[in-house]
Structure 1
Amino acid sequence: MKNILTILTTLFIIGTSFSQQTVKGKVVDSESKFPLPGVNVLVISDTTKTYGAATDVNGNFKITDVPLGRQQLKFSFIGYNPNIITIEVNSGKETVANVELEESSMEMEEFKVVASDNKEVANEMAVVSAQQFSVEETNRYAGSRGDPARMASNFAGVQGADDSRNDIVVRGNSPLGVIYRVEGITIPNPNHFSIAGSSGGPVSIINNKSMANSDFFTGAFPAEYGNSTAGVFDLKLRAGNNEKFEFSGQFGFLGTELLAEGPLSKQHRSSFLVMYRYSTLTLFSSLGINIGTSAVPGYQDFAAKFNFPLNNGGNLAIWGLGGKSNIDILISNQKDTSEVDLYGENTKDQYFGTQMYVGGVTYTHPLNKSTYLKSTLTTSLDQQNSFHDTISRNITSEGTFELLGKAQYMAYEFKTLRFSSATSINKKFGKKDVLKFGYVADYADYNFLDSVTTNSALQTYRYRWNSSGSYYSLQPYVSWKHKFSDNLVLTAGLSSFYYSIGDAFSPIEPRLGLKWDATKKGSFSFGLGRHSQAQPTYTYFYLNPGNSQPHNTELGLTYSNHIVAGYTHKFNKNLGGKIETYYQSLSGIPVETDSSSFALTNAGGGFSRLFPDTLQNTGTGYNYGVEVTLQRYFSGNWHAMFTGSLYNSRYVGSDGIERNTSYNGIYAVNFLAGKEFVIKERKTIGIGVKVTSAGGKRYGEVDTTASNLQGEVVFTDNNFNEYQFDNYFRFDLKLTFKANTEKVTHEIGLDLVNLLNTKNILSLSYAPVPGDPSANPIRENYQLGFLPIFYYRIDF
């Protein structure tokens, strides 16, 4: 350890002279993806000297000796709308800026440049409820922890469901409605310690250092996105540097990371990028830092991409990512009677592990100046396994827990192996029309096995899941984009979705979008769409007591009809605002055949699986609201953003009563701001803050008798979700220090999450007091308290 500290100290003080760096990238047509030669690229933020280059025949450019710090690049080309982006230039790594330019529908020889990081998404068919996010933002925003999902919770209409996890609630919808896509393929839940059927977890497997700028959609998304009713992460993996070997290392709360990238062949411009992370939470646990559990989580993950440019603009990429995690939550070791574990049950020891891997090959080729082909093949594995022991204990005369014994209670293993294919073709017809069509197909083998004790003394068990088999799905789609002019754009599409379990079929799902730039500063947008989604696979195969065959295999799809209207205004080049209002109608929600308040739309957050009774697709629901965003883009070394949403989320179960969904918080507000202070032109101190306020979690009346029988909190149907905990509040502060030496960049960061240690109530839990049957067995669980997250990063 002493030697490691010596090496890190030596690296930190190496080099004393201020340096410059290379900026390079590629410019292509936004719709055909065809390389654009002759594009002028200028650094416009430095007025003391002219830095620039023109793209070559393959659309590549390189600008040398660019000053360090944040710089603005202007891209201009005759016949195309110009673009201006902001980049960060460090001494330790070359900066890569890949840009897409949109062809103008008008015949003009020159254009007036009006741009300033307006965060337009990469998908050319999206005009509403879409947001681009960058790696820089996942690093810059306080409380984001380098996690795309936690960063997205800053957007209007999006909020976290649980501080200890990164599940997100989009416009009042269950996190079950959120999917992740990479290279056009829907991937398994990319989080450590994920529960079957969920979309979140405590720690993301996706490391932001391996990502390129990506898109996030919150509703009425284009036709190519299927099997989702709430939100879509469309993630991009970046290629490695194809000219220079570069390395990154990071040590911090979330793990020790190593990244390497560089050329495989400089002549053919092929490259590699590989990274690996291993958890270091053991160290923080030993320091007494509360991470929500006394157990020590262990996890490791990786990402890799091997990129091979081909002749005539083609490209072949071989990529993969994945991770493995495990945790032993031993409640039997607890002595303190006030201790509650956010990740476990208070009456059981749990041994839990997960695995998720996905690997694929992506081929892209601009067939000509108007046609672009993209095709991806992948294989993925998603697995969870858990073993639970019931414990019995007493309270000693000293007021501490005493373990009396434990017995085997439950064990399960869920595994899904999936093969996926996606192909799309973009075809331009002149300057005004673009047609995109393709498909996404999946074939999967599954194995679900779960048994639970029926008599702890005799150690007899029954199966709750005992199914294996296969299923497939197919989603063809077509989208059309028409420019009446550069100021008026229409997108329209049709999608279809078939899911073999239950023979579920949605034949036609129309999508429509319209954007009108009414003035130079203001634009209106409108979108609508019909979307469908299958249920979490394991929920189809639950075995009711006494049954030998699963009883929900005939479940159909859940449907969402979404309509959105918005207005965006540019006050000046650095300040913009947006307001959107929406209405979403839901049908086909699984509810119980018997009269009850149960609905699958309330599931999807936390660490609990569902044990559904017989279900039918007769539940309905609706969400509506208004969202406001006011953003000051990074300029003059500072940025700020305010987002607010006011919404209502309701559903009707099989008993015909309309209720609040479990995610109906009514409102959510975020304020973020950050400032960078440059010290002696080579060192930077950054300060960022985030303030969040949101409506409290929903709960109902507790059925104490049923809770005692089942060993968990059971709510009555009466007044279910009609009560609400106190409003949620959190203040985060992030501090960073960056030093650029001759060829090395050092960065130290400290993210102080919930700095004020505000006690926010998360849920109710079943925690009976041993030896005192008269005591209330229901207690309040709190969100994470103050959590300091630090890291040290080096790029060279």
Structure 2
Amino acid sequence: MKKSLFFFLLCLLAFSATAQQAYRIIGTVTERNSRERIPYVSVAVWNSSKGTQTDSLGRFSITGVTPGIYRLQVSGLGYKTVITPEFRLSSHDYTLDIEVEENRINLREVSVTASPFRRSVESPIAMRVIGLQEIEKSPGANRDISKVVNSFPGVASTVGSGYRNDLLVRGGGPSENRFYLDGVEIPNINHFSTQGASGGPMGIIDADFIREVNFYTGAFPTSRGNALSSVLDFKLLDGDARKCSVKATVGASEVSLTSNGHIGDKTTYLVSVRQSYLQLLFSILDMPFLPRYTDAQFKIKTRFSRYHELTLLGLGAIDDMRLNKDTDPADEGKQYILNYLPVIKQNTYTLGAVYKHYGGRHIQTVVLSHSFMNNKNTKYLDNDESRPENLILRYCSDEVESHFRFENLSTLRLFKINAGVNLDYAMYRNRTLQKAFAHNQATEYNYRTDMGVFKWGVFGTVSYEMDNGRFSTSLGMRLDANNYSSRMNNPLKQFSPRLSLSYNLWGDVWVNGSIGRYYQLPAYTTMGYKENNVLVNKYNGLTYIRSDQAVAGLEYRLGRDARVTVEGFYKKYDHAPLSLTDSIPLACKGTDYGASGNEAAASVSQGRAFGIETMVRWFGSKRFNMLASYTFFRSQFKSPLTDRYISSAWDNRHLLTLSGTYKLPKHWDVGLKFRLMGGVPYTPYDEYTSSLVDAWDATSRPYYDYERYNTGRLKTFTQVDFRLDKVFYFKGVMLGFYIDLQNVLNTKYDNPPVLVSTGKEYTDENGARRYEMKYIAQQSGIILPTLGITVEF
């Protein structure tokens, strides 16, 4: 590996100088509601002296711009100043069409300072916009958005669990997040995702498609339902309306090909295909599992006229994770993982269509989508498939969802009214054969589920902003229901009001707040779980999970380049599913491969999460970008045995991130990230149960002593990531190289010792067959390198 890195650096240094290329940035400026082209407004490259003015038809052209990542600033009398999302100018002229809104502020009284930090009236707090620079250059993230968001306050991740992308936000579990692509809901954003939760080792979404991401950790828009901890709303690029281009990327784990262009005068497209060879990297690292995946994504957008447009989206993945039976037999930790981890095969896809009609001050949006997920897990005792009786798990499940959503956004002077409905139909099919040890005896679960659920919802928001922009407020509500049971079919029981406020105290200091009630449907794995061919959780009173949340904070803008925020939050959970097997909330599970939530449960759990977080974000003068965040929080649930709050599985307490990138001369970029997470609680093992032959053979894993749940705590985790980029721009060609090193200091992290069977059997004094057991050390932490090459032409 050292020789490879050295050779890679020599290749970069060999191209020490290239001719400086220059291109144009061209496009149009349009008023968002009327769709009229705006003449004679200023269009400038943000933070530079380059600029121009639109002509009489609203067109602009900025010439002589060297390649790089830029924003544009648009300003004109009677219109709100706009700073666009970041975009990359690389191998040819860049086309960017910009929308602006009428400005009702009296310009004689108010001085407007342009800033890249955009505000939302509905979500003035707990919302961050993640731009291209952070996605492309974030150290240790390898252009994976699930890893990028780990730099932001309130976001934790799992350690030592198979390089997973579990998203744990403000003390919530991995099942409490929702994801959207240009308004189309997608079930997950990771390969090999845990059914009933969300995480996996690699992201599905191609970073070349992303324009920016709106990341909500609270104050969720009413149109984005079924979320308790976060919403990731991806805004995708449009295809190039004037030129067709191709981009190829070769990294340590995948090869990808992306095409960007147009079909005729009205239709643009983006399409990509990626094939991983992640199994080769994991084989080199001698990991006990070898994942391989293929994914594809497309976006086709047609503007029929200035008032009508249609977007078609598609996203699909084929995942295949096999076991590495050749892993080091002397490494007991790897052998332990090999003996319990199943073979996983997944197929997922989402197809969607978004139609928009611009009718002056009224904009209608219609969204239709269809999602499918097939998840197969298979496991044999000791990985011996030669004997049918060794089969301990055969799991095959489908989740199929069809969505319809209609929204109308009306702008009435100082008010905006957004209202709509959603209608959804979900099918859940499951074929399960699983051996387990429950209630002190060996048990076999063998059931078939074919379940259909019809869901519906109504939502609306009224937003108001003073004509001088100093005060804004938003009042919204949602109603949700479904036909799963009588406990869920009354929408008034899921009435979800919410209120947001923002006030400019003085100068550049704002006070923001939000309070609301949110509901989430339990996972289909829980709703469709059967015992004796009965949906037991339906009769256990399963219902929507409720969370009451409040967020308040201060925001201070240091000029136009930096922002400091301090936010306090409180989340209270009610009616959360509680496992009837171990009396642990299902929200405390879901960070292991396979499926989560497929067990008997009742909606009786209560919990809470609260804390304070601060963040400094600086888009420094052309060269330096920096993000620093710190969060102190508690995540707890109420024990059904003692009725007292105890730590949940996500109670890190401390999160600290320092991340920055610096632009060096001649298109070199260097980035560094320091990450600190407080140790999470852990539960000691039940040695008495784990040693039973029937218990161990059922799962090849030890059993926890839930009477001592989370009484231990791991040490603090730290990690340093490094990234180095070099880009060469030739005439019509961009050639990029990068090195991304996760855990560059090779920091080791001690997980709790794991209890394993020695394979030696004996009979105890009561005649019970048992294995001799022992503890083995569990240590994680390794340098994970990525070497990448990108070519665009």
1:130 alignment partner in structure 2: 127
Distance in 1 (alpha carbons) for counterparts of 2:576 and 2:432? 25
> What amino acid maps onto 1:365 in structure 2?
H
What does 1:631-670 correspond to in 2, within 5 Å? Answer: 631-655=617-641, 656-670=643-657
Q: CA deviation at 1:791?
A: 0.8
Give the drift of 1:421.
1.0
**Unpaired segments ≥5 residues, structure 2:** 1-6, 763-770
Equivalent in 601, 610, 613 of residue 624 of structure 1: 610
C-alpha change, 1:183 and 1:116, in structure 2 (3 Å) is closer
Equivalent residue runs for 1:89-128 within 5 Å: 89-97=88-96, 99-108=98-107, 112-118=111-117, 120=118, 125-128=122-125
Aligned-pair CA distance for 1:304: 0.5
The alignment partner of 2:381 has SS state of strand
Does residue 311 in structure 1 map to residue 305 in structure 2? yes
In 1, Cα distance between the equivalents of 2:36 and 2:218?
Answer: 31
- Determine whether 1:757 maps to 2:746: yes
**Equivalent residues of 1:451, 1:461 under 8 A apart:** no
Partner of 1:712: 701
Aligned to 1:37: 38
Report what 2:671 is aligned to.
688
What's 2:333 paired with?
Answer: 340
Instruction: Summarize the Cα distance change of 1:335–1:685 in structure 2 as closer, same or farther, 3 Å threshold.
Output: closer
Given the alignment, which residue of 422, 425, 430 partners 1:443?
Answer: 425
1:388 to 379, 385, 389: 379
Question: In structure 1, what residue type is equivalent to 2:19?
Answer: S
- Which stretch shows the higher mean deviation, 446-455 or 134-143? 446-455
Residues 362-761 of structure 1 mapped to structure 2, 5 A cutoff = 362-368=354-360, 370-391=361-382, 407-430=390-413, 432-453=414-435, 462-485=444-467, 486-503=469-486, 504=488, 505=491, 506-544=493-531, 547-553=532-538, 554-592=541-579, 597-610=583-596, 614-655=600-641, 656-679=643-666, 684-708=667-691, 709-710=695-696, 711-761=700-750
Q: In structure 1, what is the Cα distance between the partners aligned to 2:244 and 2:110?
A: 39
Q: SS of the residue aligned with 1:340?
A: helix
Instruction: Find the counterpart in structure 1 of residue 236 from structure 2.
Output: 237
For residues 383 and 295 of structure 2, what CA distance do their matches in structure 1 show?
Answer: 36
Structure 1 position 583, deviation (Å): 0.9
Structure 1 stretch displaced more, 145-154 or 66-75: 66-75
> More deviation in 742-751 or 82-91?
82-91
Asked if 2 retains the 8 angstrom alpha-carbon contact of 1:389 and 1:408, the reply is yes
Q: How is 1:4-83 mapped onto 2 (pairs within 5 angstroms)? A: 16-25=18-27, 27=29, 32=33, 34=35, 37-38=38-39, 39-43=41-45, 45-47=47-49, 50-54=50-54, 61-83=60-82
Deviation sequence 1:42-71 (CA, Å, 0-9, x none): 235443xx53241775x6644333233344
Q: Which residue of 2 aligns with 1:398?
A: none
Q: Deviations over 1:606-664 (max 9, x none)?
A: 22534665422121111110000012214241111110000011111332242100000
Instruction: Report the residue type matching 1:391 in the other structure.
Output: D
Aligned residue for 2:175, secondary structure, equals helix
Counterparts of 2:180 and 2:240, CA distance in 1: 24
Amino acid of the residue matched to residue 500 of structure 1?
A: N
Q: Which amino acid aligns with 1:42?
A: A
- Residue-by-residue CA offset, 1:119-152 (whole Å, 9 max, x unaligned): x26x652211001112331111101121112111
The answer to whether the Cα contact below 8 Å between 1:160 and 1:166 also exists between their aligned partners in 2 is yes
Partners of 1:780 and 1:743 in 2: CA distance: 54
With over 3 angstroms needed to count, the CA separation of the structure-2 counterparts of 1:234 and 1:465, relative to structure 1, is: farther
Please give the alpha-carbon distance, in whole angstroms, between the structure 1 residues aligned to 2:329 and 2:388.
17
Greater mean alpha carbon deviation, residues 612-621 or residues 436-445: 612-621
Output aligned runs, 1:204-215, within 5 Å.
204-215=203-214
Cα displacement (A) at 1:712: 2.0
| Distance (Å, rounded) in 2 between the aligned partners of 1:155 and 1:240 | 30
Question: Is the CA contact (8 Å cut-off) linking 2:590 and 2:596 kept in structure 1?
Answer: no
**CA 738–598 in structure 1, closer or farther in 2 if over 3 Å, else same:** same
Instruction: Report the number of matched residues.
Output: 753
> In the alignment, what sits opposite 2:147?
150
Deviation readout 1:710-744 (Å, 9 max, x if unpaired): 43232223231121111111000111111111211
Task: Determine the C-alpha separation between the residues in 1 that align with 2:497 and 2:792.
Answer: 47
The structural deviation recorded for 1:222 is: 2.1
In 1, Cα distance between equivalents of 2:152 and 2:21: 36
Structure 1 CA distance for aligned equivalents of residues 108 and 79 of structure 2: 9
Conservation of the 8 A alpha-carbon contact between 1:697 and 1:761: no
For the residue of structure 2 that corresponds to 1:767, the secondary structure is strand
Worse-matched range after superposition: 321-330 or 529-538:
321-330
CA distance in 1, matches of 2:201, 2:38: 45
Q: How is 1:219-258 mapped onto 2 (pairs within 5 angstroms)?
A: 219-258=218-257
**Residues 185 and 422, structure 1, Cα contact 8 Å, conserved in 2:** no
* Structure-2 change in CA distance of 1:186 and 1:654 (3 Å): farther
Deviations along 1:521-564, whole A, 9 cap, x unmatched? 111101011000011101123234xx231201241011111101
- For residues 191 and 715 of structure 2, what CA distance do their matches in structure 1 show? 30
**SS at 1:749's partner residue?**
strand
Scaled by the length of structure 2, what TM-score is found? 0.89
Aligned with 2:285 (options 284, 289, 292): 289
| Distance of 1:777 and 1:429 partners within structure 2 | 70
The residue type paired with residue 549 of structure 1 is V
CA distance in 2, matches of 1:751, 1:355: 29
Rounded Cα–Cα distance in structure 1 between residues aligned with 2:106 and 2:383: 79
- The verdict on how the C-alpha distance between 1:767 and 1:690 changes in structure 2, with shifts beyond 3 A counting, is same
Question: Given that residues 268 and 302 in structure 2 are in contact (C-alpha distance below 8 angstroms), is that contact kept between their aligned partners in structure 1?
Answer: yes
Contact 2:85–2:212 (CA<8 Å) still a contact in 1? no
Q: Distance in 2 between matches of 1:257 and 1:699?
A: 40
> C-alpha distance in 1, partners of 2:450/2:276?
33
Report the 3-state secondary structure (helix = DSSP H, G, I; strand = E; otherwise coil) of the residue aligned with 1:552: helix
8 Å contact 2:121–2:465 — kept in the other structure?
no
Is residue 321 of structure 2 the alignment partner of residue 324 of structure 1?
Answer: no
Q: Deviations over 1:429-488 (max 9, x none)?
A: 12x011001122211222111113589xxxx99444410121121121001111123111
Distance 1:334 1:67 in 2: 49
Separation (CA, whole Å) in 2 of partners of 1:302 and 1:90: 24
Aligned to 1:397: none
Contact kept? 1:589, 1:617, Cα under 8 Å:
yes
**Structure 1 residues 259 and 128: CA distance shift in structure 2, 3 A:** same
- Partners of 2:563 and 2:88 in 1: CA distance: 25
Cα contact 2:568–2:613 (8 A) shared by 1: yes
Structure-2 separation of matches of 1:725 and 1:80? 54
Amino acid paired to 1:232? V
Task: Provide the secondary structure at the position in 2 that maps to 1:347.
Answer: helix
Q: Does the 8 Å CA contact 1:79/1:109 hold for their aligned counterparts?
A: no
Amino acid at match of 2:381: T
Deviates more, 1:621-630 or 1:512-521: 512-521
Residue 203 of structure 1: aligned partner: 202
Partner of 1:396: none
Residues 396-424 of structure 1: CA deviation (Å, up to 9, x unaligned): xxxxxxx9999222211111221111111
Distance 1:392 1:226 in 2: 42
SS across alignment from 1:92: coil
Query: Contact 2:249/2:788 (CA < 8 Å) preserved in 1?
Result: yes
Contact 2:212 2:235 (8 Å CA) reproduced: yes
> Cα gap change, 1:241/1:14 in structure 2, threshold over 3 Å: closer, same or farther?
farther
Task: Note the alpha carbon deviations across 1:345-395, whole angstroms, 9 max, x for none.
Answer: 442473211111001111112112x111111111111111021111189xx
Q: What CA distance in whole angstroms lies between the structure 1 residues aligned with 2:121 and 2:362?
A: 14
SS for the counterpart of 1:501 is coil
